[in-house]
Amino acid sequence: MRGLHPCNLGWLSYGALKGDGILIVVNTVGAALQTLYILAYLHYCPRKRVVLLQTATLLGVLLLGYGYFWLLVPNPEARLQQLGLFCSVFTISMYLSPLADLAKVIQTKSTQCLSYPLTIATILTSASWCLYGFRLRDPYIMVSNFPGIVTSFIRFWLFWKYPQEQDRNYWFLQT
């Protein structure tokens, strides 16, 4: 299951601790959409037990993280720094995860496993967050979103080098 990622909840906590309304609103919407995605996925998923176990495990890890940041780190400035680092690590891992398909793309000389619309969305969102982080002079927001720009350019280069073959059915619909 790909939709559940702790980034929204982490950045929501970071925004709340920092008092940043934009981070709070954007990540509240993101967390709500992820919750809807999980519920829809669970509704249609034939292996509900496995998905429920994965979801419960991740929620347990998130609760442990919440307990650590809000109960064991009493200094708000230290909490903000550690939470920013935590969120940055997860955001960078999210942006780097599509590179796992890099070897497959090069080996097969096909970009069928890559999504062009997702690549466009990734470069737009990561560039927007980089600029927002730059505006705030917040290295956690700025630096953690920069890999999204880099990986998007790598994927654009792969789309250029190994163009996707158009689906024949799609071609017939155009004529």
Q: H-helix or E-strand containing 7? A: helix 7-18
Quick: pLDDT tens for 62-73. Answer: 788 778 877 888
* pLDDT confidence band for 3 (50 / 70 / 90): very low
Q: What are phi and psi of 41, to 5 degrees?
A: -60, -45
CA torsion sign for 22, 82, 128, 156 is negative
* pLDDT confidence band for 166 (50 / 70 / 90): low
What are the angstrom distances between the C-alpha of 149 and each of 27, 93, 95, 120, 164? 20, 13, 9, 10, 21
Q: H-helix or E-strand containing 173? A: helix 168-174
Helix (H, G, I), strand (E, B) or coil at 175: coil
Highest mean pLDDT range out of 51-55, 83-87, 95-99? 83-87
d(CA 138, CA 17): 14
Mean local confidence (pLDDT), 127-141: 95
Q: For residue 97, what pLDDT is reported?
A: 82
Quick: pLDDT tens for 141-156. Answer: 999 999 999 999 999 9
- All domains of the chain, ordered by start, with CATH? 1-72 (no CATH), 95-165 (1.20.1280.290)
Q: Which residue has the higher pLDDT, 47 or 159?
A: 159
Q: For residue 2, what pLDDT is reported?
A: 40
